[in-house]
Structure 1
């Protein structure tokens, strides 16, 4: 990010979520606030420069992957809520709308939105400008990662580290250094209450065909020109090992084609999402682990 400015890619992602609601059938991910938060109707959204490539194969693929990763995250969240999780943390929330259409509010699910101060201030301006109400169960947590610590800021915001929490961290990791990614995952893993994290990452573009690499190079150039270049790539087996070393279990890693099979049941634009992955990993609560490790005693 450019210091003092909101994330430019956050707006592009929001625009593509809105375009998905208008252009793609069947929908992978339904978001009734996607159009509202970008401040547009069908005509104005489709006319914007950011969507001038909306009907290109590359644009369709990007929209499909962004929709699928959100669907995957919210499906995993629903399963976590069914297990009793009631605290949701959106890391790098951008213009994500989950907190304002929370289907689990009646179950006591609360949301902590974490983002860079400039991006979060911009989002709150957009919420006010577009008339999207902020529920009482939403807490904004501005964090400048250059000078502040995530775990401390969450504690100050009222998130008890001893309760399980669900972390959604989408569209952020590829722009961070490997050290920053693993540090954040380590903070999540260290929470004694345990929980789950869903995040996305990119494999090295070396595996791409020539045409796919040209498309990726174009996309990477656009994000770099916005001050948000791609920085880190992982090999799936290496990342799985690192997650396991941090204490995560039940690691589920899905590629674009995997998500296409799950949500569309066959060949789709997601087959061209060659290097994007979404991961879900669970960290068991420390108390539960301790109980399992304790030797049995005679009655």
Structure 2
């Protein structure tokens, strides 16, 4: 991440959502603010050798938001949403639920840059949004949320999208333990990458090339999990129920073309905890 700017991956994710609105049929995720929030960005050229984003990768990035926000809508009792590593996510500005507080947690420099982008794009910041700047080298998300007014005793929904591959393994597990250990019911949705060896042999060269490209951009992938490992780690963290959703599951769920190839083996986990007070 460059000082005062979002990470390249945050920018890439927002661009993918923006392109998805006009380039993909059917559109599985609607984000009318994606193009506006990246307007005016004079981005640096891509490093040499970084490939263009395949349509299937762009589709997965849209699907992870669709799965997460569908799950959030189904969580009828939730009144707090925490967007961890919020980047240029636009959920808080698209939400029309005045009873829902949205805590955006991110690095102070990235968050300051985002707020300038919101102002420049004329995107209104609702009173329900709570900015929670956290420098993770000095402070935990838990501490930052406490200072921002997060209510540990009220149901909460946590979004961690497009972030986990860039985190050390223990950072995800610390987050999972924090969410599962809350006194009130809580849910967590995140996407993750599988180890190279878990993919079919014919998919490995392309995935390896993607990983090398991310490393050249200065934002290498650091953690990988199999579905079995995710299930075990989340259960140990204290979650009562885990749903793990793969590419084929998404294609079937949203009636998409079943022949679309799974290019890199990304998956989406949805974990639920009933809360320590109920236990």
Q: TM-score, length-normalised on structure 1?
A: 0.86
The residue that corresponds to 1:21 in the other structure is 21
Residues of 2 paired with 1:68 and 1:87: CA distance? Answer: 22
2:69 is aligned, of 64, 71, 74, to 74
Give the number of the structure whose residues are more often helix, by fraction: 1
Displacement of 1:65? 0.2
Q: Does 1:61 align with 2:52?
A: no
Q: Deviations over 1:219-247 (max 9, x none)?
A: 21222122110011011112101111111
Contact 2:198 2:226 in 1 (8 A): no
Displacement of 1:209? 4.1
Contact 1:111 1:137 in 2 (8 A): yes
Displacement of 1:49? 7.0
Q: TM-score, length-normalised on structure 2?
A: 0.92
Residues of 2 paired with 1:3 and 1:237: CA distance? Answer: 37
* Partner SS state of residue 280, structure 1: strand
2:222 is aligned, of 217, 231, 253, to 231
Q: Does 1:280 align with 2:273?
A: no
Displacement of 1:265? 4.3
Q: Does 1:138 align with 2:133?
A: no
> How do residues 235-246 of structure 1 correspond to structure 2 at under 5 angstroms?
235-246=226-237
Displacement of 1:140? 0.5
CA RMSD of aligned residues (A): 2.2
Q: Does 1:252 align with 2:247?
A: no
The residue that corresponds to 2:39 in the other structure is 39
Q: Deviations over 1:224-276 (max 9, x none)?
A: 1221100110111121011111110220000112111111244153x424410
Residues of 1 paired with 2:35 and 2:4: CA distance? Answer: 26
Q: Does 1:163 align with 2:154?
A: yes
Q: Pick closer, same or farther for the CA change 1:69–1:7 going to 2, 3 Å.
A: same
Contact 1:116 1:143 in 2 (8 A): yes
* Partner SS state of residue 141, structure 1: strand
Residues of 2 paired with 1:241 and 1:114: CA distance? Answer: 27
Residues of 2 paired with 1:218 and 1:122: CA distance? Answer: 30
Displacement of 1:176? 0.9
Runs of 5+ in structure 2 lacking a partner?
47-51
* Partner SS state of residue 119, structure 1: helix
Bigger mean CA offset, 116-125 vs 63-72? 116-125
Residues of 1 paired with 2:229 and 2:208: CA distance? Answer: 24
Residues of 2 paired with 1:278 and 1:117: CA distance? Answer: 27
Q: Deviations over 1:14-42 (max 9, x none)?
A: 101101011000001011111111117xx
Residues of 1 paired with 2:212 and 2:122: CA distance? Answer: 34
Contact 1:166 1:197 in 2 (8 A): yes
Q: Deviations over 1:112-170 (max 9, x none)?
A: 00011111111111111111111111000011111102111101101111111000000
Runs of 5+ in structure 1 lacking a partner?
51-55, 290-299
Contact 1:89 1:167 in 2 (8 A): yes
Q: Which has the larger radius of gyration?
A: 1
Displacement of 1:217? 2.1
The residue that corresponds to 2:80 in the other structure is 87
